[in-house]
Amino acid sequence: MRKTFLLIVAALAVTAVVGATAGARPTATPGVTAKSILLEGTYPLSGPASGYAPIPVGMGAYFSYVNAQGGVNGRKINWHYEDDGYNPANTVQITHKFVEQDHAFALVGGLGTEPQLAVRQYLNDNKVPQLFVATGATTFDRDFAQYPWTIGWQPDYEAEGAIYGKYVAANMPNAKIGILYQNDSYGNDYLRGFKAGLRAHQSQIVTAQPYDLSATTPPAVQMVKIKASGADTLVLFATPTPTIQAYVIGTKIGYKPANVITNSVSATDAFLTIAEKSGSDIVEGSLSVEYTLDPANPIYNKQPGMKLYRQIMAKYAPKANVNDGLNLYGVAKAWNVVQLLKSLGKNPTRTGLMAAARKMTFTPGKKNANPFLLPGVSTYTRGNFQFPITQVKLVKYVNHVFQPQGKLFAGRGALR
């Protein structure tokens, strides 16, 4: 009995000493020291969404490049990211760690609508920047008044939908439209934007078929209904796997729409190649949109941004697949982060960072546009307009590569 008691006392004494020495004191501005700035983010490196894993690699490559040139105002960027497996419960715990234990200056580029929704209130309560989340859910940009510490980056789904609507209204006034959409905020954001873009042409929609992400079978019934409706223009507002399935099922049931429009999330070379290899013959000619340079298309190789991208990736992420556009997405986003940090001067604060993010003018006219975005695309926010990227270019899938079509479209602005 006495021995046990002594053991317990000894164990408690040891833990007390360890605990007392382990707690690091937060500095005046969390995450900022004389020599470094700590930025952190959560990404799905495992699980169903692990296909997005190249994004933080691209971001890290760009930060390493900036650090090699002396960093930002004399401070090196310390980039740290962790795997949440696309489970919001994990995102919450890791985010608590970033804020309460690591004392990150800002959380940057966190990926996924639901994971980022899960931590939005917490980060706003703690006044920690939730900068440039990697999701196009409209709420992250639109609801800035309620969540002043949160901002998106890429074109929002609603705006992208509106661009397809406007394009159809202008160029295919006689098309009969059949829509397959995911029955959640993702698909509904797209659908709402699409209808807003069509305006008076909404009657061109002959059918809109929802499917459930949790459904265990491919959307075959929906595709049959779309074919039966006589639609000659197929619009897919679906995530990658159902998109591929829809392409394949379409061919199997003998459906030959004159045009196919596919939302940009699912419209990558990799996904469409899978659809073709699985036997779909309606992939060729698919329409979508792009806003960054596309490393898979050689026509961009002479762009200064593409040259710099390839240099950075070769030096700082040599193992990555440089032709995967997700790396470039990461590099492009990191460019904006670095510009914001530079503008904060010698004494960066979280408040200053958000103020700068709310008033961005990275536009081609000012000669400081993001070099990794398509020529002419700006990152611009001001006052009540908090949608950083809104311009996109229509692209057509020809011979395994997306070819740009015509001029830039602005998704926002015409909506209101």
| Contacts to another protein by CB under 8 A | 1, 4, 8, 12, 15-16, 18-20, 22-23, 45-46, 50, 53, 56-57, 81-83, 85-90, 92-94, 96-97, 100-101, 113-114, 117-122, 125, 184-185, 212-214, 319
What is residue 45's DSSP assignment? S
Nearer to another protein, 22 or 28 (CB): 22
Nearer to another protein, 54 or 305 (CB): 54
Single-letter residue type at 224: V
CB of 290 to another protein, least distance (A): 25
CB of 294 to another protein, least distance (A): 23
Q: Give the sign of the dihedral formed by CA 351, CA 355, CA 357, CA 358.
A: positive
Nearer to another protein, 50 or 368 (CB): 50
Nearer to another protein, 8 or 68 (CB): 8
CB of 216 to another protein, least distance (A): 9
Cα of 81 vs its chain's centroid, Å: 16
**Contacts by 372-378, CB closer than 8 A, 24 or more apart:** 372/292, 372/293, 372/305, 372/308, 372/309, 372/328, 372/331, 372/332, 372/335, 373/291, 373/292, 373/293, 373/305, 373/332, 374/290, 374/291, 374/292, 374/293, 374/404, 374/408, 375/303, 376/408, 377/291, 377/408
What is residue 260's DSSP assignment? E
Nearer to another protein, 213 or 314 (CB): 213
Counted residue by residue, the chain has a size of 416
CB of 4 to another protein, least distance (A): 7
CB of 185 to another protein, least distance (A): 5
CB of 211 to another protein, least distance (A): 11
CB of 412 to another protein, least distance (A): 22
Nearer to another protein, 53 or 172 (CB): 53
Check if the beta carbon of residue 52 is closer than 8 Å to that of residue 134: yes
Nearer to another protein, 89 or 299 (CB): 89
Question: Which of these, 81, 136, 79, 62, lies nearest to 370 by C-alpha position?
Answer: 62
Nearer to another protein, 27 or 50 (CB): 50
Nearer to another protein, 144 or 362 (CB): 144
CB of 137 to another protein, least distance (A): 9
User: Which pair of tokens denotes residue 320?
Assistant: 């990555």
The enclosing H or E element of 395 equals strand 391-398
What is residue 129's DSSP assignment? -
**Contacts by 45-50, CB closer than 8 A, 24 or more apart:** 45/83, 45/85, 46/83, 46/85, 47/85, 47/86, 47/87, 48/86, 49/86, 49/111, 49/112, 50/86
Tell me the C-alpha distance between 162 and 195, whole Å.
7
CB of 123 to another protein, least distance (A): 11
First to last CA, the chain: 77
